[in-house]
Amino acid sequence: MNGEEQIPDGIAQRFRGFLPVVVDVETAGFDAQRHALLEIAAVVIRMAPDGRLEPAPAVHCHVLPFVGAELDPRALAFNGIDPDHPLREAVPEHEALNRILSPVRKAVKNTGCTRAILVGHNAHFDLGFIKAAVDRTEFKRNPFHAFSVFDTVSLSGLMFGQTVLANAARAAGLGWSNSDAHSALYDAEQTARLFCTIINRWNEFDPLRFWESGERLPAPE
Protein backbone atom coordinates (compact mmCIF):
# COMPACT_ATOMS: atom_id res chain seq x y z
CA MET A 1 0.00 0.00 0.00
CA ASN A 2 1.47 3.32 -1.04
CA GLY A 3 0.77 5.79 1.74
CA GLU A 4 0.91 8.73 -0.70
CA GLU A 5 -1.63 7.23 -3.09
CA GLN A 6 -4.63 9.46 -3.72
CA ILE A 7 -7.69 7.33 -3.11
CA PRO A 8 -11.01 8.67 -4.48
CA ASP A 9 -12.66 10.68 -1.74
CA GLY A 10 -16.14 9.17 -2.15
CA ILE A 11 -15.18 6.77 0.61
CA ALA A 12 -15.28 9.66 3.10
CA GLN A 13 -18.90 10.39 2.21
CA ARG A 14 -19.91 6.72 2.31
CA PHE A 15 -19.12 6.15 6.00
CA ARG A 16 -19.59 9.57 7.60
CA GLY A 17 -15.94 10.48 7.42
CA PHE A 18 -14.66 7.10 8.62
CA LEU A 19 -12.17 5.19 6.49
CA PRO A 20 -12.65 1.42 6.81
CA VAL A 21 -9.39 -0.43 7.42
CA VAL A 22 -9.39 -4.18 7.85
CA VAL A 23 -7.06 -5.41 10.59
CA ASP A 24 -6.18 -8.93 11.63
CA VAL A 25 -3.82 -9.85 14.45
CA GLU A 26 -2.31 -13.16 15.49
CA THR A 27 -1.53 -13.45 19.17
CA ALA A 28 -0.24 -15.77 21.88
CA GLY A 29 -3.53 -15.80 23.76
CA PHE A 30 -6.78 -13.95 24.38
CA ASP A 31 -5.72 -11.33 26.94
CA ALA A 32 -4.41 -8.18 25.24
CA GLN A 33 -2.69 -7.03 28.44
CA ARG A 34 -0.85 -10.29 29.15
CA HIS A 35 -0.41 -12.18 25.90
CA ALA A 36 1.99 -11.32 23.10
CA LEU A 37 0.96 -9.66 19.86
CA LEU A 38 2.80 -11.67 17.19
CA GLU A 39 1.57 -10.54 13.77
CA ILE A 40 -0.43 -7.65 12.31
CA ALA A 41 -1.88 -7.06 8.85
CA ALA A 42 -3.98 -4.15 7.62
CA VAL A 43 -5.89 -3.48 4.40
CA VAL A 44 -7.26 -0.02 3.59
CA ILE A 45 -10.62 -0.10 1.82
CA ARG A 46 -10.87 2.28 -1.11
CA MET A 47 -13.63 3.32 -3.48
CA ALA A 48 -13.34 2.79 -7.23
CA PRO A 49 -14.64 5.45 -9.64
CA ASP A 50 -17.85 3.43 -10.11
CA GLY A 51 -18.54 3.59 -6.36
CA ARG A 52 -17.67 -0.01 -5.61
CA LEU A 53 -15.42 -0.78 -2.68
CA GLU A 54 -12.16 -2.65 -3.20
CA PRO A 55 -9.18 -3.60 -1.03
CA ALA A 56 -5.89 -1.77 -1.37
CA PRO A 57 -2.68 -3.84 -1.07
CA ALA A 58 -2.05 -5.03 2.46
CA VAL A 59 0.67 -3.98 4.88
CA HIS A 60 1.96 -6.66 7.21
CA CYS A 61 4.65 -7.41 9.78
CA HIS A 62 5.66 -9.90 12.43
CA VAL A 63 6.01 -8.62 15.98
CA LEU A 64 8.44 -9.48 18.78
CA PRO A 65 6.72 -10.37 22.07
CA PHE A 66 6.92 -7.49 24.51
CA VAL A 67 9.04 -7.92 27.63
CA GLY A 68 7.19 -10.09 30.12
CA ALA A 69 4.58 -11.25 27.59
CA GLU A 70 2.91 -14.59 28.17
CA LEU A 71 2.82 -17.20 25.41
CA ASP A 72 -0.03 -19.68 25.66
CA PRO A 73 1.08 -22.94 23.97
CA ARG A 74 -2.51 -23.63 22.90
CA ALA A 75 -2.67 -20.34 20.99
CA LEU A 76 0.67 -21.02 19.30
CA ALA A 77 -0.48 -24.50 18.31
CA PHE A 78 -3.64 -23.00 16.83
CA ASN A 79 -1.98 -20.31 14.69
CA GLY A 80 1.22 -22.25 14.00
CA ILE A 81 3.52 -19.37 14.91
CA ASP A 82 6.98 -20.03 16.34
CA PRO A 83 7.90 -16.70 18.00
CA ASP A 84 11.60 -17.64 17.91
CA HIS A 85 11.76 -18.65 14.26
CA PRO A 86 14.67 -16.74 12.64
CA LEU A 87 12.81 -16.21 9.35
CA ARG A 88 9.97 -14.29 11.03
CA GLU A 89 12.03 -11.07 10.87
CA ALA A 90 9.90 -9.76 13.71
CA VAL A 91 10.23 -6.19 14.94
CA PRO A 92 9.43 -4.54 18.31
CA GLU A 93 5.85 -3.43 18.90
CA HIS A 94 6.51 0.29 18.41
CA GLU A 95 8.17 -0.28 15.04
CA ALA A 96 5.39 -2.67 14.02
CA LEU A 97 2.74 -0.10 14.90
CA ASN A 98 4.59 2.54 12.93
CA ARG A 99 4.78 0.30 9.86
CA ILE A 100 1.07 -0.48 10.03
CA LEU A 101 -0.47 2.75 11.31
CA SER A 102 1.57 5.38 9.46
CA PRO A 103 0.18 4.31 6.05
CA VAL A 104 -3.30 4.23 7.58
CA ARG A 105 -2.93 7.81 8.82
CA LYS A 106 -1.79 8.90 5.36
CA ALA A 107 -4.75 7.16 3.75
CA VAL A 108 -7.12 8.91 6.16
CA LYS A 109 -5.62 12.25 5.15
CA ASN A 110 -5.56 11.50 1.42
CA THR A 111 -9.22 10.49 1.35
CA GLY A 112 -10.48 13.47 3.33
CA CYS A 113 -11.65 11.20 6.14
CA THR A 114 -11.49 12.20 9.78
CA ARG A 115 -10.57 8.85 11.33
CA ALA A 116 -10.03 5.20 10.47
CA ILE A 117 -12.55 2.64 11.66
CA LEU A 118 -11.34 -0.89 12.25
CA VAL A 119 -13.00 -3.65 10.24
CA GLY A 120 -12.46 -7.17 11.49
CA HIS A 121 -13.93 -10.58 12.09
CA ASN A 122 -14.63 -10.36 15.82
CA ALA A 123 -13.27 -6.86 15.45
CA HIS A 124 -13.07 -5.89 19.11
CA PHE A 125 -10.49 -8.64 19.64
CA ASP A 126 -8.19 -7.05 17.05
CA LEU A 127 -8.90 -3.52 18.27
CA GLY A 128 -8.15 -4.55 21.85
CA PHE A 129 -4.69 -5.85 20.96
CA ILE A 130 -3.89 -2.78 18.86
CA LYS A 131 -4.94 -0.47 21.69
CA ALA A 132 -2.95 -2.45 24.26
CA ALA A 133 0.19 -2.24 22.11
CA VAL A 134 -0.39 1.50 21.57
CA ASP A 135 -0.64 2.00 25.34
CA ARG A 136 2.43 -0.13 26.13
CA THR A 137 4.63 1.68 23.62
CA GLU A 138 3.10 5.14 24.14
CA PHE A 139 2.60 5.26 20.39
CA LYS A 140 1.31 8.64 19.25
CA ARG A 141 -1.52 9.37 16.82
CA ASN A 142 -3.38 6.10 16.65
CA PRO A 143 -5.74 6.71 13.69
CA PHE A 144 -8.45 4.25 14.75
CA HIS A 145 -11.68 5.17 16.47
CA ALA A 146 -11.37 4.19 20.12
CA PHE A 147 -14.37 1.86 20.23
CA SER A 148 -16.47 1.87 17.03
CA VAL A 149 -15.87 -0.97 14.57
CA PHE A 150 -17.39 -2.70 11.57
CA ASP A 151 -17.59 -6.39 12.45
CA THR A 152 -17.86 -8.84 9.58
CA VAL A 153 -19.30 -11.45 11.95
CA SER A 154 -22.50 -9.42 12.20
CA LEU A 155 -22.46 -8.36 8.55
CA SER A 156 -21.92 -11.95 7.38
CA GLY A 157 -24.68 -13.20 9.64
CA LEU A 158 -27.03 -10.67 8.09
CA MET A 159 -26.00 -11.24 4.48
CA PHE A 160 -25.19 -14.97 4.37
CA GLY A 161 -26.40 -16.50 7.62
CA GLN A 162 -22.79 -17.39 8.42
CA THR A 163 -20.59 -16.18 11.28
CA VAL A 164 -17.42 -18.27 10.84
CA LEU A 165 -14.99 -16.44 8.55
CA ALA A 166 -14.21 -19.46 6.38
CA ASN A 167 -17.89 -20.27 5.87
CA ALA A 168 -18.78 -16.64 5.18
CA ALA A 169 -16.00 -16.36 2.59
CA ARG A 170 -17.22 -19.50 0.85
CA ALA A 171 -20.83 -18.27 0.93
CA ALA A 172 -19.67 -15.02 -0.68
CA GLY A 173 -17.98 -16.99 -3.47
CA LEU A 174 -14.47 -16.02 -2.35
CA GLY A 175 -13.15 -19.46 -1.52
CA TRP A 176 -11.01 -20.37 1.47
CA SER A 177 -7.64 -22.05 1.99
CA ASN A 178 -7.33 -23.89 5.30
CA SER A 179 -3.57 -24.13 4.83
CA ASP A 180 -3.23 -20.34 4.59
CA ALA A 181 -5.71 -19.50 7.34
CA HIS A 182 -4.61 -18.08 10.71
CA SER A 183 -1.98 -15.98 9.02
CA ALA A 184 -2.76 -12.33 9.74
CA LEU A 185 -2.02 -11.43 6.12
CA TYR A 186 -4.32 -14.06 4.59
CA ASP A 187 -7.12 -13.49 7.07
CA ALA A 188 -6.97 -9.70 6.64
CA GLU A 189 -7.05 -9.96 2.85
CA GLN A 190 -9.97 -12.39 2.92
CA THR A 191 -11.85 -10.28 5.46
CA ALA A 192 -11.32 -7.22 3.27
CA ARG A 193 -12.70 -9.03 0.23
CA LEU A 194 -15.65 -10.22 2.30
CA PHE A 195 -16.41 -6.72 3.62
CA CYS A 196 -16.27 -5.23 0.12
CA THR A 197 -18.50 -7.97 -1.27
CA ILE A 198 -21.13 -7.39 1.42
CA ILE A 199 -21.17 -3.60 1.02
CA ASN A 200 -21.18 -3.77 -2.78
CA ARG A 201 -24.09 -6.22 -2.82
CA TRP A 202 -26.01 -4.06 -0.36
CA ASN A 203 -25.47 -1.02 -2.58
CA GLU A 204 -27.08 -2.85 -5.49
CA PHE A 205 -30.50 -2.98 -3.85
CA ASP A 206 -30.46 -0.06 -1.38
CA PRO A 207 -33.09 2.39 -2.72
CA LEU A 208 -32.12 5.31 -0.46
CA ARG A 209 -28.33 5.72 -0.80
CA PHE A 210 -28.26 8.74 1.50
CA TRP A 211 -24.48 8.91 1.34
CA GLU A 212 -24.48 9.80 -2.37
CA SER A 213 -26.51 12.98 -1.90
CA GLY A 214 -24.72 14.08 1.23
CA GLU A 215 -28.10 14.44 2.96
CA ARG A 216 -28.34 13.77 6.66
CA LEU A 217 -30.93 11.39 7.99
CA PRO A 218 -33.77 13.21 9.73
CA ALA A 219 -33.54 13.39 13.49
CA PRO A 220 -35.80 10.91 15.29
CA GLU A 221 -39.06 12.38 16.52
Q: Which of 95, 107, 121, 111 is nearest to 57 (CA)?
A: 107
pLDDT, one tens digit per residue, over 195-211 is 999 999 998 887 667 66
94 is catalytic: no
Q: Is the pTM for the entire model greater than 0.85?
A: yes
State the catalytic residue, choosing from 62, 121, 145, 182.
Answer: 182
Residue positions in the annotated binding site for Mg(2+)?
A: 24, 26, 182, 187
Residue positions in the annotated binding site?
A: 24, 26, 182, 187
pLDDT, one tens digit per residue, over 147-204 is 999 999 999 999 999 999 999 999 999 999 988 888 999 999 999 999 999 999 998 8
Per CATH, the architecture of 17-204 is what? 2-Layer Sandwich (3.30)
Q: How far apart are CA 72 and CA 56, in angstroms?
A: 33
- Amino acid residing at 80: G
pLDDT, one tens digit per residue, over 104-119 is 999 999 999 999 999 9
Q: In a 3-state reduction of DSSP, which class is residue 144?
A: strand
N- to C-terminal Cα separation, the chain: 44
Q: How far apart are CA 38 and CA 103, in angstroms?
A: 20
